[in-house]
Amino acid sequence: MYPQHDPDMASASSLLSEEQFLCPICLDVFTSPITTPCGHNFCKDCIHGYWHVTSPCQCPMCKQKFGRRPELKVNTFIAEMADHFRRSVEIRATATSTQDQPQAAQPGEVPCDVCTGRKIKALKSCLECLASYCETHLDPHHILATFKKHNLIEPVINIEDRVCKRHQKILELFCRSDQTYMCQVCAEKRHKRHNVVPLEEESRERRAQLGNMEDVMQQMIQGRLQKVKEIKHTVQSGKVNAEREIRESLQVFTALVRSIQRSQAELIEVIEEKQKAAERRAEGLIKELEQEITELKRRSTGVKQLSLTEDHLHLIHSFPSLCTPPPAKDWSEIRVQSVVYVGTVRRAVRRAGSQFEETLKNEVKRLCETELTRTQQCAVDVTLDPDTAHPKLILSDNGKQVAHGNTALNLPDNPERFYPGISVLGRDGFSSGRFYYEVQVKGKTEWDIGVGRESVNKKGGNTLNPEHGYWTVGLRNRTEYWALTTPPVPLPLVDKPQRVGVYVDWEGGQVSFYDVDSRSHIYSFTGYIFAERLYAYFNPRKNNGGVNSAPLVISPVSDVTSSP
């Protein structure tokens, strides 16, 4: 806004207020002012520019519409008064400091429709004027009573799109029946029986829906962030497991190598000792022979000298001692042969193999114990689901025991119930991570335990193998243990398990079974991809007249210790 006019202005202009010298559109002192038929004054260029972007032709102040654009001429009186006012203001402006200029509109920002030359960023758009205004040119909407009633919104480009093309009215309604915007005339003429609401109401509802959608999106984001966390945790766990497996395998093979090295050292020691003994015996024989040779040489020399002597008396006297052979060993029976180590290596290998086997057995036992201890860290509380139990199965009240009875219970034949398969599932399933539980099988002659996927066929025949969604092991005829694969694999167990541990790594595609009491491994299904929820599976088999009446009992995992 311009400052208040100088009190020294001409008396004519001093009787008028500052607002009367300002164009309501550009808010600057009138330039070539014209007067519309309704009596309002505007700059000539401003009113022509306004009519160029709006339809129909109307007064920006009172909204009076004109059938056709009126021919306007400059109001000379107002022009002279405005010119006098402008000069006064210019004189005073030179005496004041220059104010900071507002910044021009940047790319992507809505420019002011009134600014000439450098376009300033619009602060608001007016749905009545169908124009956007910067802070300066928006002032009439805050000051003038007529403009205060206009509907201001955040700056928008192409504000003319907010006007009904058919009736030249503001699009202020929304038809929910046709999902379209409309003006009041459209609503009255073409949408009388439709569900028409103000844009504000539809906007509030859409905003509420957006709020709900945002909540859903946030939940989806959190779910995926959690999945990312789980995947990273799985990868990290896999890395830790791989490092542990490498470390343990190195320990095993180091122990085996040491066992072999010990056996090798013992074999070398035996061979070397035999060779040294042979060498000592040979040295003794050689020494004894050398002594006899020395004595024989001495006598040979004496005989030769005696045979050449002229002393007849000496010859006759010495003859008996020289002609009698010295005592000597019969060397013809003595044989010295190189040492042949027949059977030495074989015996050494047999002994090394025995040590190797013992070492391997001990290392495997240690690894099995470590592995079982680690899996027991994943223990979960499993209870039986009565809705899946075959009618002849008897479940304990606490859902921890199941046995086969002779009489079928009167139970609803719901889709989840096994029939005719004598089976029951655990109540809770698992679709990620690792879990472990233990089952007492003491006193039974037949049983099947393991896990089954959620979609297993509970009606009709129950073929237990991974192809049909079961990963189980079982007992038949008191002593025959089987991994129920295709075909079944016999399990030559030394000890008869009394308590079996079942471990599942869902992401790792593994199901393993352990003899808890001997802390040994029974069998593992590996390399599978689980795409469904898995449930603990139990089949106590028929009681066979009481021979197999003992129940399967879900035991508490009490042997959990700290993982090594």
Give per-residue pLDDT as tens, 363-396.
777 878 888 988 999 999 999 999 999 999 999 9
Task: Output 303 or 446, whichever has higher pLDDT.
Answer: 446
Q: What is the mean pLDDT of residues 393-408?
A: 95
- Specify the pLDDT at position 73: 87
The confidence score (pLDDT) of residue 339 equals 60
Tokens coding 442: 């003491």
Strand 173-175 with 196-198, pairing: antiparallel
Q: Where along the chain do its domains lie?
A: 18-91, 169-194, 232-373, 378-555
| Bridge partners of residue 485, in order along the sequence | none
> What's the confidence (pLDDT) of residue 497?
96
- Please state, in angstroms and as integers, the Cα–Cα distance from residue 489 to each residue in 423, 446, 464, 485, 526, following that order: 21, 16, 12, 7, 14
Mean pLDDT score, 440-467: 93
> pLDDT category, 340, cuts 50, 70, 90?
low
| pLDDT value of position 353 | 66
Please check whether residue 100 is in contact with residue 120, taking contact to mean a CB–CB distance below 8 angstroms: no
The pLDDT mean for the chain works out to: 84
- Which CATH topology does 18-91 take? Herpes Virus-1 (3.30.40)
Same fold, 18-91 and 378-555: no
State the burial class of residue 552 (Cβ atoms within 10 Å of its Cβ: 0-12, 13-18, 19+). Answer: buried
The per-residue pLDDT for 14 is 44
The amino acid at residue 146 is T
3-state helix, strand, coil in the chain (%, to 5): 40, 20, 40
What the block records as the tokens of 531 is 């795409």
Parallel, antiparallel or unpaired: strands 419-420 and 459-460: parallel
Q: What is the pLDDT of residues 457-513, one digit of tens each?
A: 999 777 899 999 999 999 999 999 999 999 999 999 988 999 999 999 998 899 999
Q: Mind listing the pLDDT tens digit for each residue in 19-31?
A: 677 888 887 788 8
Q: Grade residue 350 by pLDDT with cuts at 50, 70 and 90.
A: low
Residues 147-185 pLDDT 10s:
888 888 888 888 777 778 888 777 889 999 989 989 888
Least confident of 274-278, 328-332, 419-423, 544-548: 328-332
Among the listed residues 540, 538, 558, the one whose alpha carbon sits nearest the alpha carbon of residue 548? 540
In this prediction, residue 98 carries a pLDDT of 44
Of the chain, the percentage scoring pLDDT greater than 70 comes to 89
Query: What whole-number distance in Å separates Cα of residue 540 and Cα of residue 552?
Result: 6
| % of the chain with per-residue pLDDT over 90 | 32
Partnered with residue 538 across adjacent β-strands are 424, 449
What integer pLDDT is reported at residue 448 of this predicted model?
A: 98
What tens digit of pLDDT does each residue of 44-102 get?
A: 888 888 888 777 788 888 888 888 888 888 888 888 888 787 777 666 555 544 445 56
pLDDT band at 292 (very low <50, low <70, confident <90, very high): confident
pLDDT band for position 544 (cuts 50, 70, 90): very high
**CB-based burial, 10-33: b 16+ in 10 Å, e otherwise:** eeebeeeeeeebbbbbbbbbbbbb
Please state which CATH number belongs to domain 378-555.
Answer: 2.60.120.920
Does residue 431 surpass a pLDDT of 90? yes
